[in-house]
Structure 1
Amino acid sequence: MKAVIQRAENASVTVEGRTTGEIDFGIVVLLGVTHEDTAEDAKYLVNKILNLRIFEDEAGKMNLSLKDTKGKLLSISQFTLYGDTRKGRRPNFMAAAKPDKAKELYETFNRLVEDEGVILAEGAFGEMMDVKLNNVGPVTLILDSKER
């Protein structure tokens, strides 16, 4: 399971002009699922993301986590994180999980976030989405549950 996380002052996602999720402060997560991923991968990423110290403390040091700051999380499914661009000019998405499995693990990830008491906003699985965010810093990190 891969996640691109971005620290955000605010963010929103819309589908066909309708806002499906928005946050005023926190982290935007673009989440990709591959074939061999399990709920354990989701648990690992949730724990890592919610506790990463990527927010500034009063001294201006990145020393606080999303949980410390009471920030929110905007979760967006993104199968293109498993796009392989090594050959040719068109990405190959064979490493991305099939939609049924990907949706199940995306929903597992989201429920685990909520179980931790973090306010969650979501995109719309499998839909064409417009994502807007004000990335502060900018701070953008890439996490892979297979690289622990």
Structure 2
Amino acid sequence: MKAVVQRVSEASVDVDGIRIGEIAEGVLILVCAMQSDTEANADKLTAKIAKLRIFRDEEGRMNRSLSETGGAALIVSQFTLAADTSRGNRPGFSAAAPPEDGARLYEYFITRMQSEGISVQTGQFGADMKVRLLNDGPVTIPMEF
């Protein structure tokens, strides 16, 4: 699975002008299931994000994890992370998992993040979403498992 993790002061997602997810301090996770991904990939991604030390400690150093801070996660599916831009000017997305598999792994990833004790809000798989965020730092970390 591919993900982009952004430390945020706040983030939200709207579908058709309706706010469906919103968090204060935490992370915005843009996530994409790739063709060969399984639940094991989602498990590895979950474990890494939950313990990723990207939040400031008392000395201002990035030394605390999402689990330690009690921050929330806004998880948004984004198949465009699978973009192949190596040929021409139109990205190809054939490396992304088929929609059925992508949706299943997206939901599984959400459940796994919740099982880590993290408060989770979500986007809507396959929807045209408007995502807003106030990136804190900025801290933006690409990941792949």
Give the SS at the match of 2:102: helix
Structure-1 separation of matches of 2:5 and 2:39? 19
* Secondary structure in structure 1 of the residue aligned to 2:60: coil
Aligned to 2:14: 14
Structure with greater proportional strand content: 2
Looking at structure 2, the residues matched to 130 and 22 of structure 1 have their Cα atoms a distance apart, in angstroms, of 12
Q: Secondary structure of the equivalent of 1:54? A: strand
Match of 1:103 in 2: 103
Question: How do 1:123-138 residues align onto structure 2 when only pairs under 5 Å count?
Answer: 123-138=123-138
Partner of 1:48: 48
Once the two structures are TM-superposed, the CA of residue 116 in structure 1 deviates from its matched residue by 1.1
C-alpha distance in 1 between matches for 2:20 and 2:125: 11
One-letter amino acid of the structure 1 residue matched with residue 69 of structure 2: T
1:72 corresponds in structure 2 to 72
- Counterpart secondary structure, 1:60: coil
Superposed structure 1 runs of 4+ greater than 2 Å apart: none
Distance in 2 of aligned mates of 1:86 and 1:42: 26
User: Runs of 5+ in structure 2 lacking a partner?
Assistant: none
Partner of 1:25 in structure 2? 25
- Say whether residues 1:122 and 2:129 are aligned partners: no
- Count of matched residue pairs: 145
Match of residue 144 from structure 1: 144
Rounded to whole Å, the distance in 1 between the matches of 2:36 and 2:93 is: 15
* TM-score between the two structures when normalised by the length of structure 2: 0.99
The amino acid of 1:73's aligned partner reads A
State percent identity of aligned pairs: 47
